[in-house]
Chains A and B, each alone.
Chain A
């Protein structure tokens, strides 16, 4: 790796899920706050290892459901609104001796729009929380980053972390079992 560029963080590679699982708890216990694990698949329990448990004894929880709920509620009332507006208010239609508007007969429309909007809420909520799309990221500079999608596991402690120190953190990462500990640098300019 070139010695030019802004320092982003120190990366340590691990070979198995259980190695990174135990190492993550040690990083947390050492008091680091700006760091991240990179894994080829979701490792169950890693959240608790990285952030501990909350007061009620649960691991950290994703906030995606809030977006889903918002989408679902919006969808339901959008459905209700369009049926009322179109068939009862703007152009009242007589068909089948049914009332112009009722929450019963067009229920499939509300139902489908609830699901449709909730699904969009879920996807875009996930994008928003993951700060995607972001087509470049400093960790992509690591020569072994590609392997984290394949069979390697990686912990990156960021320079931003108040406890970060070039040598101490590197030693610490080696101590907890990290292999090929190396510095990630962002290219200064393109």
Chain B
């Protein structure tokens, strides 16, 4: 029993003395040897300080942008889905493009919080809360589009297996129904994961609270967390399990989203590469959005010690890797279209690159394949404003990817007599544009009221958390 108390430090293997391994400079995850108290003060300070003026300006601005979605949806609901540009032959216009775009963005948050947690990537700690918030808000934006595309939004609950007056149940053979389950599960589990990770930090805010409303607000949310070892033990296990559950979940969600296309017998859609290709694209776009959001946050709140160059480097490298995967998938689609010797499939791909939507295809290729290749260079990764600009291009490129996939195939189907050209209407544009405002409103509220970083996790990667005080 007492074996746990005595620490046996293993002697280093003989071979190490012979080969003299190179000592790598390890950049600490928290710079400037910040103390535990500094970390608490820094993160809680963001929430506790007086609301800055810029926050109000951004909030009002974001709200006014969000109102565009409100206007778009008001017109849509009062007159019908015909207000959108969707029509024969393109019955899935911006609605599906925007849906897949926003869902994809969410994926990086889950990747950071779940997959990187399982892989013991400690650098994730300071960016995971913000990215998880991004996931939750992005899925909310995504949900708007299919919800309103059903036409009579007040019947959207028919999507769920709830008894209704028609006595008809959902049809489980349809990938669209699988999507209902995938996306609603994804949203719910993301919220649970996000919230559970926040409980200890909410307790810290509760204990520091001076004002009565804060005591009640954070007290209620933190559920009476008391920092005890028993709490931490169960918490850590639950966290690990939720990470383990979210990993297959995040991979399945975009796989199922890709089934919306891949199950259909249409050239350009009916391919087995879709699931991995969609997942890689989702993570790519999500990292783009994480950088778009967190780089300004880091600058505004002076979080350079917590989100340092190492974090940015790693995010850039993941963007580079997934961007290259996406580029590989584009090339492989073309190869298989030729190698498969199916004339419809061949036409679909020639048409993608050189047909009626050639401009969208080349925007996609330049943003998704060429742009991230810049991250090979250290000088570019260290130029934060440039990284931010590239991250925006990644977002743009990934939106166009979905546009290209959905529209090139539908606008040129098997019968030339039914060919058409899709353009969005003002209502389409308003609805989509407004979602950026809606997303920003939610993100600003998150910055203002919830802890931006998981305090305990950030503290865990500092030397102070090591019970052996570096004697290992």
User: Interface of A with B (CB < 8 Å)?
Assistant: 16-18, 20-22, 25, 29, 36-50, 52-53, 57, 59-65, 68, 82-83, 86-87, 90-91, 93, 95-96, 98, 105-106, 108-109, 111-113, 115-116, 118-120, 122-123, 125-127, 129-130, 132-137, 139-140, 145-146, 148-151
Given the complex of chains A and B, what is the CA–CA distance between A16 and B464 in angstroms? 7
Instruction: Judge if B32 is at the interface, Cβ distance under 8 Å.
Output: no
Instruction: Indicate if the CB atoms of B2 and A38 lie closer than 8 Å.
Output: no
B-side interface residues, number (CB < 8 Å):
72
User: Interface of B with A (CB < 8 Å)?
Assistant: 1-5, 35-37, 40, 161, 167-175, 177-178, 181-182, 185, 188-189, 192-193, 196, 200, 203-204, 207-208, 219-220, 223-238, 241-242, 245-246, 248-249, 252, 256, 259, 455-457, 459-460, 464-469
Distance in Å from the Cβ of A30 to the closest Cβ of chain B? 12
Given the complex of chains A and B, what is the CA–CA distance between A41 and B200 in angstroms? 9
| Other 16 A-B pairs with CB < 8 A, given A40-B456, A123-B242 | A36-B230, A40-B455, A42-B229, A44-B465, A52-B4, A64-B241, A93-B171, A105-B173, A112-B185, A115-B249, A126-B196, A126-B238, A130-B230, A139-B228, A146-B204, A150-B36
Chain B residues within an 8 Å CB radius of A139 = 226, 228
Given the complex of chains A and B, what is the CA–CA distance between A82 and B437 in angstroms? 38
Given known contacts A21-B467, A53-B1, A91-B167, is B231 in contact with A130 (CB within 8 Å)? yes
Chain A residues within an 8 Å CB radius of B35 = 151
Instruction: Indicate if the CB atoms of B172 and A149 lie closer than 8 Å.
Output: no
Chain A residues within an 8 Å CB radius of B2 = 25, 29, 52
Chain A residues within an 8 Å CB radius of B242 = 119, 122-123
Given the complex of chains A and B, what is the CA–CA distance between A108 and B230 in angstroms? 36
Determine the residue in chain B with the shortest Cβ distance to A91: B169
Given known contacts A90-B169, A127-B223, is B161 in contact with A45 (CB within 8 Å)? no
Given known contacts A21-B467, A145-B207, is B181 in contact with A129 (CB within 8 Å)? no
Instruction: Indicate if the CB atoms of A46 and B229 lie closer than 8 Å.
Output: yes
Given the complex of chains A and B, what is the CA–CA distance between A107 and B414 in angstroms? 31
Given the complex of chains A and B, what is the CA–CA distance between A79 and B203 in angstroms? 36
Chain A residues within an 8 Å CB radius of B466 = 17-18
Instruction: Indicate if the CB atoms of B37 and A136 lie closer than 8 Å.
Output: no
26 A-B pairs within 8 Å (CB atoms) are namely A16-B464, A18-B466, A21-B467, A36-B228, A38-B227, A39-B229, A41-B232, A42-B229, A42-B460, A44-B467, A45-B467, A50-B229, A53-B1, A87-B171, A91-B169, A95-B174, A108-B252, A115-B248, A116-B188, A119-B189, A123-B192, A125-B238, A145-B207, A150-B40, A151-B37, A151-B40
Given the complex of chains A and B, what is the CA–CA distance between A22 and B465 in angstroms? 14
Chain B residues within an 8 Å CB radius of A39 = 227, 229, 232
Can you list the 5 inter-chain pairs with the closest CB atoms, starting with the nearest? A21-B467, A86-B169, A146-B207, A62-B237, A151-B36
Instruction: Indicate if the CB atoms of A38 and B241 lie closer than 8 Å.
Output: no
Given the complex of chains A and B, what is the CA–CA distance between A146 and B231 in angstroms? 16
Instruction: Indicate if the CB atoms of B219 and A135 lie closer than 8 Å.
Output: yes
Instruction: Indicate if the CB atoms of B192 and A120 lie closer than 8 Å.
Output: yes
Instruction: Indicate if the CB atoms of A146 and B208 lie closer than 8 Å.
Output: yes
Given known contacts A37-B229, A83-B172, A109-B181, is B237 in contact with A64 (CB within 8 Å)? yes
Which of B4, B181, B204, B235 contacts A149, CB < 8 Å?
B204
Determine the residue in chain A with the shortest Cβ distance to B456: A41
Instruction: Indicate if the CB atoms of A42 and B232 lie closer than 8 Å.
Output: yes
Distance in Å from the Cβ of B81 to the closest Cβ of chain A? 23
Chain B residues within an 8 Å CB radius of A129 = 230, 234
Instruction: Indicate if the CB atoms of B169 and A18 lie closer than 8 Å.
Output: no
Given the complex of chains A and B, what is the CA–CA distance between A126 and B40 in angstroms? 25
Interface of chain A, main secondary structure: helix
Chain B residues within an 8 Å CB radius of A135 = 219-220, 223-224
- Which among B234, B245, B256 has the highest number of chain A CB atoms within 10 Å? B234
Instruction: Indicate if the CB atoms of B467 and A46 lie closer than 8 Å.
Output: yes
Which of B170, B171, B204, B232 contacts A150, CB < 8 Å?
B204
Chain B residues within an 8 Å CB radius of A137 = 224, 226
Given the complex of chains A and B, what is the CA–CA distance between A61 and B224 in angstroms? 22
Instruction: Indicate if the CB atoms of A113 and B467 lie closer than 8 Å.
Output: no
Given the complex of chains A and B, what is the CA–CA distance between A87 and B230 in angstroms? 46
Distance in Å from the Cβ of B139 to the closest Cβ of chain A? 14
Chain A residues within an 8 Å CB radius of B178 = 106, 108-109, 112
Which of B5, B227, B256, B468 contacts A29, CB < 8 Å?
B5
Chain B residues within an 8 Å CB radius of A91 = 167-169
Given the complex of chains A and B, what is the CA–CA distance between A165 and B365 in angstroms? 74
Determine the residue in chain B with the shortest Cβ distance to A26: B5
Given the complex of chains A and B, what is the CA–CA distance between A139 and B224 in angstroms? 11
Given known contacts A62-B233, A122-B241, A129-B234, is B465 in contact with A41 (CB within 8 Å)? yes
Chain A residues within an 8 Å CB radius of B228 = 36-38, 139
Given the complex of chains A and B, what is the CA–CA distance between A58 and B421 in angstroms? 66
Which of B229, B233, B246, B468 contacts A18, CB < 8 Å?
B468
Chain A residues within an 8 Å CB radius of B259 = 108
Given the complex of chains A and B, what is the CA–CA distance between A140 and B226 in angstroms? 8
Given the complex of chains A and B, what is the CA–CA distance between A45 and B464 in angstroms? 14
Instruction: Indicate if the CB atoms of B172 and A86 lie closer than 8 Å.
Output: yes
Chain A residues within an 8 Å CB radius of B237 = 61-62, 64-65, 126
